[in-house]
Structure 1
Amino acid sequence: MAPIPKPPAEPHDNPDAYVGLEQARAERLAREKGWSTVRSLPPGAIITMEYRSGRLNFEVKDGRVARSWKG
């Protein structure tokens, strides 16, 4: 029997700390803090709602993070 895959760990990090940062800087910081996936989206983007451990999402408006959330 194959082993059950283990989802990536989530860093102990506050997503709200990225709000207001320039997109490239926010993405770089998130990866440095251990997020396995960083996803930047335009406002109102249609996305799936599945939760992915280790993923940090950014809503980017005018080159800056307007909203940030896990999963």
Structure 2
Amino acid sequence: MAPIPTPPTEPQDSPDRYIGLEAGQAERLARERGWSTVRSLPPGTIITMEYRVGRMNFEVKDGRVSRAWKG
């Protein structure tokens, strides 16, 4: 029987800590904390909502993170 694969892990990090940060600073910090993918989006951007382990999403308004979420 084949072994059960180990699911990938993501950093133990709260999206709330990025809110209010300048977008570039938030992106650098997220990568330093181990997020493999960081994406910054303007408010109202239409995106797919599939959950991707290791991805941090930022909604950026006026150069600052106004919302952040995993996946």
Q: Same fold (TM over 0.5)?
A: yes
Query: What corresponds to 1:36 in structure 2?
Result: 36
> d(CA) in 1 for partners of 2:22 and 2:30?
12
Query: What corresponds to 2:64 in structure 1?
Result: 64
Does structure 2 conserve the Cα–Cα contact (< 8 Å) formed by 1:7 and 1:54? no
Percent identical residues: 78
Runs of 4+ in 1 over 4 A off after TM superposition: 4-8
The one-letter code of the counterpart of 1:55 is R
> d(CA) in 1 for partners of 2:17 and 2:31?
14
Q: CA deviation at 1:6?
A: 6.3
Gap runs ≥5 in structure 2 = none
Question: What's the secondary structure of 1:67's corresponding residue?
Answer: strand
Question: What's the secondary structure of 1:59's corresponding residue?
Answer: strand
Q: CA deviation at 1:8?
A: 4.4
Q: Cα 1:29–1:40, aligned 2, differ >3 Å: closer, same or farther?
A: same
TM-score, with structure 2 as normaliser = 0.89
> d(CA) in 2 for partners of 1:26 and 1:6?
29
Q: CA deviation at 1:64?
A: 0.1
Q: CA deviation at 1:9?
A: 2.3
Q: Cα 1:46–1:5, aligned 2, differ >3 Å: closer, same or farther?
A: farther
Larger CA Rg, structure 1 vs 2: 2
